[in-house]
Structure 1
């Protein structure tokens, strides 16, 4: 059996880190097994779904390296959803109900007062044609509920499945209300279109957050009622912030768009989103192919996946520190900072975000204002450094001989030597090894820096 998975966001906002976790777990599973990954845009919420958000979802996934094998929109499949609903109606499995929200709330409270489960009493199912006509004459429009199956003789019916993450699961359908599938305005809630589309698209595995566990029993019953094969289900733990706050589309700084604009690497995002809350150490992984080999459903914990957004900073830096020149070259060129492998290898260990490379480009190219150095002993070090500057060509051994000569003349060594040299040459108190920067700069720029105080 060929694996087919789907990621099914609603285009009512931008994707956040928690959505990325679900998308990546599906995508990596599909790629590891040679299967297919479908992006299904659940855009049946007409009021909140927008084309801009739909485009944003595709852009966010592409930035992570996720290229769907197929993109479908639920709004293009309304005829199939209606046909499925009509089939259920004709078989008596979808029945009209006329209660208002207030009436349903009163019913719920009455059942609780009688120590009964607060589930729908199937009053709509028991209506005859005359009663339905009378309610319609009052101007009431029905919403439509799916008749959950019972066991033989009306006994309780349980649904079981072997969850890919959580193991064996059981749901007693008698403890649930018959779910509403169609609203009064004839629009569909999530459940029916989702199941119909999964059947039509041949989805074999539904991998999603654990907040959907309670829906699964109803959905399995609906798969069976529609005559479709029941997919395997897996419910992964949810990403939550260190303080216990849940992720949402309103967590703007942790939207993929926000993280991208803040300069984070896509593989830093992917590494955190996939590995946190698993048996694997959370560390930077260089590619989705490698990440696919690192994660499997049996490694995912059932406990919430807590993380601190600041963890991304360390992952991002570690990715850059190990990034080879070949992987960085095009991006360096886009910043007018492709000064060759020696430059990249000199500065990458000092980057927290890739864009910071432009600062070191300016240092190496001489675009640096003079640094004010007032202390007499430091000025003496720089004067000697300028006078003792060796002729080119330079390599990484040049710096050692040069600084030894400065020490011999001034007596300065250690911090007293390297501090003023670094500030004059780079304008900073810390940074790449000066021995690696020196050959990149040339004698004219170096002399100007050492004279600028």
Structure 2
């Protein structure tokens, strides 16, 4: 078994791309197969090396190692040879219509209440007519002549799936400038590198029908590929998940503090009845079954991802995050705050609380209480008992208990009503910082 993930280096990886990468990698590992990374860079105008590098970095961050990799731009000779074979068999034919002419044809068919399918007029072109067109400076683009009838396959997700080829225009495989289009290059590479299984988005189902027909024309045996089409991702409100939403690129999620294990664990189970788990790649692969994926669209819910990320954060040891914490942050700090983090980036705020110069707001009506708190504050050195000693003494002075005692102290010291345990933060702050904040809040 051999699978591939084939992104185009025209932008940053989005969670939709990542879901397909996870599916292909886990399916390959589950069945002891090979996982290939193919960079689909046949579009020279839009492809960028910086995006290709970013894709590789994102996949490494996710923990999805590949067994082999190549870029399509290095295999133009293979596409030229395959095109020659299709020309020789009469399946690839030249076309000379301009965009304006094609648009006029489509409009005419629509007015006639006929499907706006290409009419194959260029198949009737004589050798003399072609020679005349080329003599007039026209350069052909090349269409693939689709077979009659329908293509049927058993989809690993969707079950029995059919594409009626007679309802589709013959696809352009090669532009006039020689650019090889995705539908063609992908089939050539999948055959050349012995891909067996292809997992991708539901929006490719029509492409799959076309590509099966191209593969057969190139000599592939029927049923050469197994396909699985994952339903589209929706946002939490049920709308189409936009790839233009920069906040859902892997780079943005990583910078915000989403942990790779949380994202992979979430995407691996998205659309199934299985609960997401932040497991190691090997464990996820051992349990992965693409057949468990629902045929209905799945919702990408950031709240669910954050919930899973929170579980990961709460269990991370200091060594796993030390190089990503603010300068000077200690293990004691990490152990004190990790249980209150959804994202690693939030640690910066709590470092400012314990080691920075935040200015809590003055607390109206609490001046007398905070002054009592300052007078009751134990002298240093402090140990793990300082919080209980201080609050017990303050309770006796003020007569307060529970929320009335603790909430003003929390707001005065952290400017927050919720957060990590104050008995741990107090030790990290030190007496001078605590006293200064009490004075400010009492003013």
TM-score over 0.5 for the pair: yes
User: Which residue in 2 is equivalent to 1:360?
Assistant: 350
CA deviation map 1:66-95 (0-9, x unaligned): 232222111111000001001111122212
CA distance in 2, matches of 1:423, 1:118: 66
1:429 to 2:407 alignment: no
SS in 1 for 2:42: coil
CA distance in 1, matches of 2:394, 2:217: 86
CA distance in 1, matches of 2:316, 2:8: 35
Matches for 1:74-93 after TM superposition, within 5 Å: 74-93=72-91
User: Which residue in 2 is equivalent to 1:189?
Assistant: 181
Number of residue pairs aligned between Structure 1 and Structure 2: 438
User: Which residue in 2 is equivalent to 1:240?
Assistant: 234
Given that 2:370 and 2:439 are in contact with CA atoms closer than 8 Å, whether structure 1 keeps it comes out as no
1:302 to 2:291 alignment: no
Larger mean CA deviation between 305-314 and 4-13 belongs to: 305-314
CA distance in 2, matches of 1:406, 1:10: 64
SS in 1 for 2:70: strand
Tell me the TM-score normalised to structure 1 length.
0.85
CA distance in 1, matches of 2:419, 2:348: 14
Given that 1:286 and 1:319 are in contact with CA atoms closer than 8 Å, whether structure 2 keeps it comes out as no
SS in 2 for 1:235: strand
Tell me the TM-score normalised to structure 2 length.
0.87
CA distance in 1, matches of 2:425, 2:153: 61
User: Which residue in 2 is equivalent to 1:204?
Assistant: 196
Given that 1:36 and 1:69 are in contact with CA atoms closer than 8 Å, whether structure 2 keeps it comes out as yes
Which structure 1 residue ranges, 5 or more long, are not aligned?
151-156
User: Which residue in 2 is equivalent to 1:285?
Assistant: 278
CA distance in 2, matches of 1:336, 1:33: 45
Which structure 2 residue ranges, 5 or more long, are not aligned?
none
Counterparts in 2 of 1:435 and 1:133: CA distance versus 1, 3 Å: same
User: Which residue in 1 is equivalent to 2:253?
Assistant: 259
CA deviation map 1:250-284 (0-9, x unaligned): 32222222333333333343344343332234x46
CA deviation map 1:326-374 (0-9, x unaligned): 4334434x6431x22x432321122232133233334444756687567
User: Which residue in 1 is equivalent to 2:99?
Assistant: 101
Given that 1:5 and 1:206 are in contact with CA atoms closer than 8 Å, whether structure 2 keeps it comes out as yes
Larger mean CA deviation between 14-23 and 351-360 belongs to: 351-360
Counterparts in 2 of 1:106 and 1:429: CA distance versus 1, 3 Å: closer
User: Which residue in 2 is equivalent to 1:222?
Assistant: 214
What is the Cα deviation at residue 170 of structure 1? 1.9
1:399 to 2:392 alignment: no
User: Which residue in 1 is equivalent to 2:370?
Assistant: 379
User: Which residue in 2 is equivalent to 1:154?
Assistant: none
Larger mean CA deviation between 116-125 and 184-193 belongs to: 116-125
Counterparts in 2 of 1:423 and 1:180: CA distance versus 1, 3 Å: closer
CA distance in 2, matches of 1:439, 1:130: 91
CA distance in 1, matches of 2:116, 2:360: 76
1:176 to 2:163 alignment: no
User: Which residue in 2 is equivalent to 1:316?
Assistant: 309
Given that 1:10 and 1:42 are in contact with CA atoms closer than 8 Å, whether structure 2 keeps it comes out as yes
CA deviation map 1:111-143 (0-9, x unaligned): 556665443333322333223223323333222
1:27 to 2:25 alignment: yes
CA deviation map 1:213-240 (0-9, x unaligned): 0111211111122123522111101112
User: Which residue in 2 is equivalent to 1:343?
Assistant: 333
CA distance in 1, matches of 2:255, 2:430: 35
SS in 2 for 1:52: helix
Given that 2:370 and 2:409 are in contact with CA atoms closer than 8 Å, whether structure 1 keeps it comes out as no
CA distance in 1, matches of 2:355, 2:112: 81
Q: Which of 54, 63, 66 is the aligned partner of 1:65?
A: 63
CA distance in 1, matches of 2:416, 2:45: 53
CA distance in 1, matches of 2:238, 2:411: 44
What is the Cα deviation at residue 211 of structure 1? 0.5
Larger mean CA deviation between 130-139 and 38-47 belongs to: 130-139
What is the Cα deviation at residue 293 of structure 1? 4.5
Matches for 1:123-138 after TM superposition, within 5 Å: 123-138=121-136
Larger mean CA deviation between 430-439 and 371-380 belongs to: 371-380
CA distance in 2, matches of 1:284, 1:239: 19
What is the Cα deviation at residue 416 of structure 1? 2.8
What is the Cα deviation at residue 428 of structure 1? 3.5
